[in-house]
Amino acid sequence: MNTNKTLIKKLNDQGTLAHDELYQLLTAMDDSDAQYLYQLARMKREAVYGKDVYLRGLIEFSNYCKNDCRYCGIRASNDRAERYRLSAQEIIDCADTGYDLGFRTVVLQSGEDLSYSDDDICAIVSAIKAHHPDLAITLSIGEKEKESYQKYFEAGAERYLLRQETSNPDHYAYLHPASLSLAHRKQCLEDLKEIGYQVGCGIMVGSPHQTFDHIIEDLYYMKDFNPQMVGIGPFIAHKDTPFRNEPNGTLEDTLHLLGIIRLMIPHVLLPATTALGTIDPLGREKGILAGANVVMPNLSPRSVRRKYMLYDGKICTGEEAAQCHACMERRIAKTGYQVIVDRGDYR
């Protein structure tokens, strides 16, 4: 076995590697090494989750945001973004549609839109739970006080997605406005875990000024935090942001990381993201074959989908929820895995 394959086997057996070993893998993997990595990653994932792929129905309920993250198409200062917010009833209707289609998890995601009070969020979560007690509700609505997270949890939300975006403070400061800090983002993740949520963190791959050393810092942070979910996808430039001319993250780097994360955190729920499907027409299928086990079809009303434009070229903005669901089932079946009707809890 060459050095890289030996390192991949060691990662598989020990769940971690030294910094220089990870650096070697991230920077010098050839196609045959990558195929070996994906093969071991699939075996790890199948040992825990079999051939099942879990669906999360994504409801993007508002694109208003108070923050000004430099990479994001819905940043506060993008005055070309056409803003919308769904009413409580519209959000509940989306969840009902999702349930009827076979989703047993919905993800309520938005910019940091202060017009929804904690009581509003709790009322929406409780109403969805009252309709469908067996539907898991994930929130992805940004940084809040611990008391707010506690209220949402008591209302019935069980999971929370909050990518740290990068685990390096200087890189974080480069990507974000001065009002945001990595320390606070990490505190939020700790608070969520302490309350009892299944927590998802994650990063953008190839974000501007990201180095492989940063990525290794991310891998160690995630290994140590031991989240139930990790959301990673390539950075993709948006034409109305300061990063409009920056290169996108690559398919290869993202797939390598999916495989590596599966070997480092074997039980993690790992989505093949929409961003991955945007940079490559078969990106999500390739993600599943590299170790991912979750896909997140869009459940937002078709009329607003084009407005939740985090990056240029985002796919799946024209279809109805039922079409997205059927398309995803077909795509996954072609990989040899199967979409199932299940909450898809962490094991």
Is residue 227 part of the contact set for ligand SAM (CB under 6 A)?
no
- Tell me, by CB under 6 A, how many residues bind ligand SAM: 20
Is residue 91 part of the contact set for ligand SAM (CB under 6 A)?
no
- Smallest gap from Cβ 233 to ligand SAM, in A, equals 6
Which of 2, 3, 7, 1 is closest to 263 using CA atoms? 7
Out of 98, 111, 259, 344, the residue judged to bind ligand SAM by CB under 6 A? 111
Is residue 285 part of the contact set for ligand SAM (CB under 6 A)?
no
| Segment holding 33, helix H or strand E | helix 31-49
Out of 10, 85, 163, 239, the residue judged to bind ligand SAM by CB under 6 A? 163
Is residue 107 part of the contact set for ligand SAM (CB under 6 A)?
no
DSSP string covering 114-130: TTS-HHHHHHHHHHHHH
Of residues 36 and 311, the one with the C-beta less far from ligand SAM: 311
Is residue 192 part of the contact set for ligand SAM (CB under 6 A)?
no
Residues 6+ apart with CB under 8 A from 39: none
How far, in Å, CA of 283 to CA of 255, rounded? 9
Tokens 């608070």, located at residue: 191
Is residue 185 part of the contact set for ligand SAM (CB under 6 A)?
no
Tokens 């490559």, located at residue: 280
Out of 99, 105, 128, 142, the residue judged to bind ligand SAM by CB under 6 A? 142
How far, in Å, CA of 130 to CA of 101, rounded? 18
How far, in Å, CA of 54 to CA of 118, rounded? 29
Is residue 71 part of the contact set for ligand SAM (CB under 6 A)?
yes
Out of 54, 160, 172, 311, the residue judged to bind ligand SAM by CB under 6 A? 311
Of residues 49 and 160, the one with the C-beta less far from ligand SAM: 160
Tokens 């109305």, located at residue: 240
Q: Find the part of the chain contacting ligand SAM (CB under 6 A) among 130-138, 139-147, 324-332, 338-346.
A: 139-147
Packing angle, helices 251-264 and 3-14, rounded to 10: 40
Out of 4, 62, 138, 140, the residue judged to bind ligand SAM by CB under 6 A? 140
Tokens 């979560």, located at residue: 125
DSSP, res 282: T
In this structure, the chain runs to a length of 347
Tokens 């940063």, located at residue: 214
Is residue 191 part of the contact set for ligand SAM (CB under 6 A)?
no
Q: Find the part of the chain contacting ligand SAM (CB under 6 A) among 158-166, 172-180, 286-294, 329-337.
A: 158-166
The torsion of the CA quartet 20, 26, 31, 35, rounded to 10 degrees, works out to: 90
Of residues 22 and 107, the one with the C-beta less far from ligand SAM: 107
Is residue 309 part of the contact set for ligand SAM (CB under 6 A)?
no
Is residue 214 part of the contact set for ligand SAM (CB under 6 A)?
no
Is residue 278 part of the contact set for ligand SAM (CB under 6 A)?
no
Site for ligand SAM in 244-273 (CB under 6 A): none
For 138-153, b/e burial (b = at least 16 CB within 10 A) is bbbbbbbeeebbbbbb
Binding residues for ligand SAM (CB under 6 A): 71-72, 74, 109, 111-112, 140-142, 162-163, 165, 204, 233, 235-236, 238, 275, 310-311
